[in-house]
Amino acid sequence: MHMQHLKLHWETNRIMANKILFTICGRAGSKGVKGKNVKTFCGKPIVDYTLEIYKKYKKKYKEQEIYLAINTDSQLLKKQIQDYETDCFFIERKEALAGDVVSKTDVIADTLIQTEQIVGNQMDIIIDLDITSPLRNLADVEGALRLVTEEKECNYAYSVTESRRSPYFNMVCENKDGYYDRVIKSTYTARQQLPVCYDMNASIYVFERDYLLDAKSENRKAHIWIMEDTGILDIDSENDFKLMEVLTEYFWRKGKYQEIKI
């Protein structure tokens, strides 16, 4: 079904899912921006903007059984979330999952397992929202979720923006001889010829439960939810952080992202 038809269909139909687990994962340490998961962003703790979208989703879909689990080893992040007065489960970050090279998918899967043990029931869908990608609308979460709940065989969806560069055309990497080539060698000579590529912006991940618990399998059937290109994919440096604040204030003045303006 064409995306425009899908969106029209979605506007008049409720999301069909019974038990949904939202996860928010944030380590105390960070190499790029020190303490980025607990920094003040536009006058509020940065996690508040993600909690606000969760709160709006839960308020809209009262018929669903919705849970929130926070996976962290940061006492300050826990306090900020408690101050926001959000009902949630705090999942202690295991030491084995606290390193820089640990897959976030493994952390989300462990959060699911521990939450199901607490609740005593299985989830249907897991939605992970990234703390340091605060510019998202409720419609973005709904759209990514519907790809998994309504698209045939789709078991995984994630948010992206259209890429400004292409591995076929203007991205290079070092080869085995120490020289540089395009990431993907091709015969393309003009941008108009290129396959459309996307940047994963880390804002939203949606998993079917069984796929998440076996995410290293060959059974991936993924779709993408295209979000607005805000100019920054993720906050990985102090400059990113400052620029994202400037952009957020600009978007608010233009009437965008009002759902997270708190």
The per-residue pLDDT for 8 is 45
Rounded Cα–Cα distance for residues 106 and 94 (Å): 11
Banded pLDDT at 48 (limits 50, 70, 90): very high
Mean of per-residue pLDDT scores for the chain: 89
pLDDT at 215: 66
pLDDT at residue 160 is higher than 60: yes
Structural domains for the chain: 3-161+198-260 (3.90.550.10)
Three-state secondary-structure class, residue 149: helix
Q: Which pLDDT does position 188 carry in this prediction?
A: 81
In this predicted structure, what is the pLDDT of residue 6? 52
Q: What is the pTM of this model?
A: 0.90
Q: Using CA atoms, how far apart are residues 203 and 134, in angstroms rounded to an integer?
A: 7
Beta strand extents in the chain (DSSP E only): 19-26, 40-41, 44-45, 65-72, 89-92, 125-129, 156-162, 172-174, 180-182, 198-208, 222-226
Residues 6+ apart with CB under 8 A from 34: none
